[in-house]
């Protein structure tokens, strides 16, 4: 039986990498891709997602328009990281048009797909959690119907990559992250910023990965050129927790959802999100002392099977 996934994205380069890994696995069925403001405005996210699907010859997968702004805070984007359009500022004149989008909106589609497949769907969130927060507010029983939730976002050591103490996806909509971590009581797995940094891959692997003689590899090399140049700057290297290397952030969460054996070490702890701090708004809070009295605890990823992860990436561009 295939694993059923819904992928919630703000498609920049690393979301594209994650989507391509999911598309390659024969044991995965992607029910739909929901889009949210984040790395770039949602209009770009939609275009980027369709471009990735076209590159993989999978425009049959439904794509849904989601939230255009965070619940309460101001918009933030990652144009300095992924390019202003989210995909390296290398436009494609033959990119698919937005007429291919589903008429149904992302939040309603998410609720419908999960409700029609109770206990079977894993939701993978690689964007700010706005769509997920609205979905659970509209349908409070939604988490009970999910098989699992996989999140790329947050941090476990107060190390920020957007603010002093905040990771991008959670900083982009702290209220949404707070709602999701407090209302989604299904099994929850979180790939934090520090986790992704500590599991970086060598640049030599990245070079080999992109050098494959395939259209998919050429597509990825082109859209990731801007980001690869930027991440080797002194400023970015200071953000890394340990060493340097190729960090396909969002792909870790997606890969974990596909392969239950990928994560080799994790810890289970109650989590929430700080909403008010001058320097800590958007920071994920880990409650090791159980002072929050939360029954639900998330699995915080620590280590992965690196060789298995490399193979998933290599296969995605073949």
Are the CB atoms for 174 and 272 separated by under 8 Å?
Answer: no
CA proximity to 258, closest of 92, 63, 20, 9 = 20
What whole-number distance in Å separates Cα of residue 158 and Cα of residue 81?
Answer: 21
Residue 290 annotated to the active site: no
Is beta strand 298-304 parallel, antiparallel or unpaired with respect to 263-273? antiparallel
d(C-alpha 264, C-alpha 18), whole Å: 19
State how far the Cα of 35 lies from the Cα of 15, in Å rounded to an integer: 11
Retrieve residue 304's tokens: 């992965």
Number of H helices, E strands in the chain: 14, 9
- Residue pair 245/201 in contact (Cβ under 8 Å)? The answer is yes
Task: Give the active site residue among 10, 25, 85, 259.
Answer: 10
Question: How many whole angstroms separate alpha carbon 189 and alpha carbon 301?
Answer: 7
Q: In this structure, what token pair is assigned to residue 176? A: 């949404």
Contact yes or no for 64/101 (Cβ under 8 A): yes
Tokens of 246: 């190729």
Q: What DSSP state is assigned to residue 97? A: P
Catalytically active residues, by annotation: 10
């Amino acid at each position: 039986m295939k694993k059923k996934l819904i992928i919630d994205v703000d498609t920049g380069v690393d979301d594209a990498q994650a989507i391509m890994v999911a598309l390659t696995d024969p044991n995965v069925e992607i029910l739909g891709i929901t889009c949210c403001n984040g790395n770039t405005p949602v209009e770009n996210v939609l275009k980027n997602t369709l471009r990735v699907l076209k590159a993989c010859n999978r425009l049959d997968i439904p794509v849904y328009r989601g939230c255009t702004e965070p619940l309460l805070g101001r918009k933030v984007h990652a144009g300095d990281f992924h390019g202003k359009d989210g995909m390296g500022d290398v436009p494609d004149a033959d990119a698919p048009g937005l007429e291919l989008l589903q008429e149904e909106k992302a939040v309603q589609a998410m609720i419908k797909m999960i409700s029609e497949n109770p206990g079977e769907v894993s939701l993978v969130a690689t964007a700010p959690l706005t769509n997920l927060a609205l979905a659970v507010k509209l349908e409070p029983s939604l988490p009970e119907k999910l098989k699992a939730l996989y999140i790329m976002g947050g941090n476990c050591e107060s190390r920020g990559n957007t603010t002093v103490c905040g990771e991008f996806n959670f900083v982009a909509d702290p209220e949404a992250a707070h709602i999701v971590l407090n209302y989604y009581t299904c099994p929850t797995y979180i790939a934090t910023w520090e986790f992704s940094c500590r599991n970086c891959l060598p640049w030599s692997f990245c070079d080999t990965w992109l050098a494959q003689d395939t259209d998919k590899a050429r597509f990825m090399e082109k859209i990731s050129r801007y980001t690869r140049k930027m991440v080797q700057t002194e400023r970015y290297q200071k953000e890394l927790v340990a060493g340097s290397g190729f960090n396909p952030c969002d792909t870790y969460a997606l890969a974990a959802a596909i392969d239950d054996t990928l994560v080799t070490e994790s810890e289970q702890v109650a989590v929430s999100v700080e909403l008010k701090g001058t320097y800590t708004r958007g920071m994920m809070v880990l409650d090791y002392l159980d002072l929050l009295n939360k029954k639900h605890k998330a699995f915080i990823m620590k280590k992965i099977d690196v060789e298995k992860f490399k193979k998933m990436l290599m296969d995605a561009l073949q």
